[in-house]
Structure 1
Amino acid sequence: MTAVVFGVTALSNVAQFVVPGMLAHLGRAPAGLHGDWWRTGTSLFVQDGGVAGTVSNLLFLVLVGAVAEQVLSRPRWLLCYFATGLVGEFAGYAWQPHGGGNSVAVCGLAGAVAVALWRGDGRLPRFAPMIVLLWCGALLTGLWFPLALVGFVAAMAVRIAAERGVATGRWATAGALAAGVALTADRDIHGVALLAGLVIASVLVRSVRRLPVPA
């Protein structure tokens, strides 16, 4: 699933750099609420961060997406990715009315991994906490650069602690929650998306627990 979404997004991003006006036509803009309804969805397939932002978003899609696949079925992976992405886009209409990118959707997958870490899901790889904290650090770069450094340092600390047998999963979950709150307070759409990802993943976990046990 990660490979499929990565492929479609990457091809769209390449086309964006070749086709003039593609970002302007498909990206998030106030017109999305006034007739150009497709923009809310298509804005997840174009990037407003140039080459560097595009490479970063695609890289984290692979990293976070592959880890999330260990604990999510394909339908739930898609739900976390696109539902959270849409929440982020609607927040964008209020706070950042012009733009585009799949980073808000990646926040949904990061939220799912964070919830799985809190639950101590044994299917996750040992480096899962580090991936979540690295993503949070990358998001915090736009808020206050020292906070981004805190995220990266925390990721390295978690890695070292994990190598020594220390349980670190819940540290990453707490970091994701803190990053979501800080970014939301700064009216950054990634904060809303990260918090939405945590909520959606938590609801999905509860729905699984409520399923009847086969006789």
Structure 2
Amino acid sequence: MKIHGLRRFPLVTAIIFGVTALSNVAQFLVPGMLAHLERTPAGLHGDWWRTGTSLFVQDGGVPGTISNLLFLVFVGLVAEQVVSRPRWLVSYFVTGLVGEVAGYAWQPHGGGNSVAVCGLAGAVAVALWRGDGRLPRVASMSVLLWCGALLATVWFPLLAIGVVAAMAANIAAGRGVAAGRWAAVAVPLTGVALIAIRDIHGGALLVGLVIASALALSVRRRDPVVA
């Protein structure tokens, strides 16, 4: 089944988007929901559920919520073209949970699915490095825009670098120029830069790369793409 050039319908992406979006809407309607579910030091002292539930609430208000949901769709649907659905879930949730745990040390208060999206970005980056033929044309653009968005949280003008790089990658792809590896390298570089300033997304990006690499090595043949 082909949708806008994709090889299969991004079912898992759609489900996780739906669940997260509904939770985010409820967060804005139910007073105290964010405070009860977000990551806080209490997660290490009895409120154990916070490590997981913090992936389903957003601490960035309406703009942050919209951004995280849009990137979940954009990066998620690309990842779902090249990894099996179980591997998609592993990349998303294991990376997300590791990111939330790291958050207790570096950013003890907060919530959002952005750290989990980093796991999907890692999966796409590994596929780009390997030159996976199942990747859609927008694959390089997806990770470059995501890296730009993460860097913009540190200094907003850095978003322009991600946008320009994404546009250049898309033009190159349209002309048949291989730029996948250049886009893939942006992920670990962004990860290292963010780790240097103790941003949890840096660790999440690198963990996402490690998980995706390990999963890719564990599979001797490519996952079948089934609609």
* Shorter-chain TM-score range: over 0.9
SS of 2:157's equivalent in the other structure is: helix
Query: What residue in structure 1 maps to residue 38 of structure 2?
Result: 27
> Are 1:49 and 2:95 matched, yes or no?
no
> Are 1:135 and 2:135 matched, yes or no?
no
Give the superposition deviation at 1:177. Answer: 1.2
Query: What residue in structure 2 maps to residue 153 of structure 1?
Result: 164
> Are 1:180 and 2:191 matched, yes or no?
yes
Give the superposition deviation at 1:101. Answer: 0.2
Query: What residue in structure 2 maps to residue 81 of structure 1?
Result: 92
Alignment equivalent of 2:71, drawn from 60, 68, 72 = 60
Distance 2:182 2:71 in 1: 20
Cα displacement string for residues 10-36 of structure 1 (whole angstroms, at most 9, x for unaligned residues):
000000000000010000000001100
Give the gaps of 5 or more residues in structure 1: none
SS of 1:65's equivalent in the other structure is: helix
Query: What residue in structure 1 maps to residue 4 of structure 2?
Result: none
Give the superposition deviation at 1:210. Answer: 8.7
The one-letter amino acid paired with 1:135 is W
Alignment equivalent of 2:209, drawn from 198, 206, 214 = 198
Give the superposition deviation at 1:148. Answer: 2.2
TM-score, scaled to structure 2: 0.91
Give the gaps of 5 or more residues in structure 2: 1-11, 223-227
CA pair 157-210 structure 1, distance change in 2 beyond 3 A: closer
Q: How many aligned residue pairs are there?
A: 211
The one-letter amino acid paired with 1:84 is T
SS of 2:219's equivalent in the other structure is: helix
SS of 1:209's equivalent in the other structure is: coil
Cα displacement string for residues 149-194 of structure 1 (whole angstroms, at most 9, x for unaligned residues):
2111111111111122110100111111111110111110111101
Alignment equivalent of 1:92, drawn from 94, 97, 103 = 103
TM-score, scaled to structure 1: 0.96
Distance 1:186 1:53 in 2: 20
Distance 1:146 1:175 in 2: 17
SS of 2:78's equivalent in the other structure is: helix
> Are 1:9 and 2:20 matched, yes or no?
yes
**Which deviates further from its counterpart, 49-58 or 143-152?**
143-152
> Are 1:102 and 2:113 matched, yes or no?
yes
The one-letter amino acid paired with 2:110 is G
SS of 2:116's equivalent in the other structure is: helix
SS of 2:133's equivalent in the other structure is: coil
CA pair 210-165 structure 1, distance change in 2 beyond 3 A: closer
Richer in helix (by share): 1
SS of 1:203's equivalent in the other structure is: helix
4+ aligned runs moved over 3 Å, structure 1: none
The one-letter amino acid paired with 1:55 is I
Give the superposition deviation at 1:126. Answer: 1.1
CA RMSD of superposed structures (Å): 1.2
